[in-house]
């Protein structure tokens, strides 16, 4: 067995020993975070008021890609993990989600919610920059560009709803 082979075996064992992961839908707003088992809103697995968020910690079984949300009573907790997509690695998703959760908890508690437009603008800019970067790098995958355009359109629609 070569030295590199041992590393491959260790990585495979690490992947094998992970807890099973179940897809979920996570909805975050300025007051709550909700985790649903499916698209059906009656399948709530976890819910918490953001003001009760005690901590966000790395998940011991997979600290790179997963984190644990705990409420201040320590009675509620949920583990969330990023997933591989064509655009982001799980660790990138994890960092972004944590940043957004803290932002919503700490900055969006205003009744007037002055930050909603700022959030939408930041997301729109990020999507536009990503589209420009893909074009600059020669990635002209039409399907991916259509998805980015669809995301931009959804954000614009969300902005219209928020403004009403």
pTM: 0.55
d(CA 159, CA 101): 19
Dihedral (CA of 124, 103, 50, 26) sign: positive
Whether residue 138 lies inside any domain: the answer is yes
Q: Which residues pair with 28 in a beta bridge?
A: 33
5 lies in a domain? no
pLDDT tens-digit map of 44-62: 888 898 888 888 899 999 9
What is the C-alpha to C-alpha distance for residues 134 and 113, in angstroms, rounded to an integer?
33
CATH number, position 36: 2.30.29.30
The span from the CA of 124 to the CA of 153, in Å, is 9
Q: Give residue-wise pLDDT tens across range 77-87.
A: 889 998 877 77
Out of 3-12, 42-51, 59-68, 141-150, which region has the weakest mean confidence (pLDDT)? 3-12
Does residue 130 lie within any of the structural domains? yes
What digits encode the pLDDT tens for the residues 108-135? Answer: 765 555 556 677 777 877 888 777 777 7
Asked whether residue 8 is domain-assigned, the answer is: no
134 lies in some domain: yes
Residues spanned by the domain of 43: 24-163
Is 2 within a domain? Answer: no
């Amino acid at each position: 067995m070569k030295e590199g082979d041992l590393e491959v075996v260790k990585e495979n064992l690490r992947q094998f020993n992970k807890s099973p992961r179940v897809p979920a839908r996570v909805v975050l707003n300025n007051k709550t975070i909700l985790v649903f088992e499916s698209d059906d809103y009656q399948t709530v697995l976890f819910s918490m008021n953001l003001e009760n968020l005690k901590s966000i910690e790395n998940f011991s079984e997979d600290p790179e890609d997963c984190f644990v949300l705990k409420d201040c009573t320590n009675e509620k907790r949920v583990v969330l993990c990023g997933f591989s997509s064509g655009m982001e690695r799980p660790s990138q998703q994890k960092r972004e989600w944590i940043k957004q959760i803290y932002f919503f908890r700490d900055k969006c508690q205003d009744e007037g919610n002055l930050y909603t437009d700022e959030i939408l603008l930041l997301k729109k800019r990020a999507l536009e920059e990503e589209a420009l970067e893909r074009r600059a790098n020669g990635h002209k995958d039409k399907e991916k560009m259509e998805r980015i355009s669809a995301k931009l359109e959804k954000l614009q629609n969300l902005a219209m709803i928020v403004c009403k």
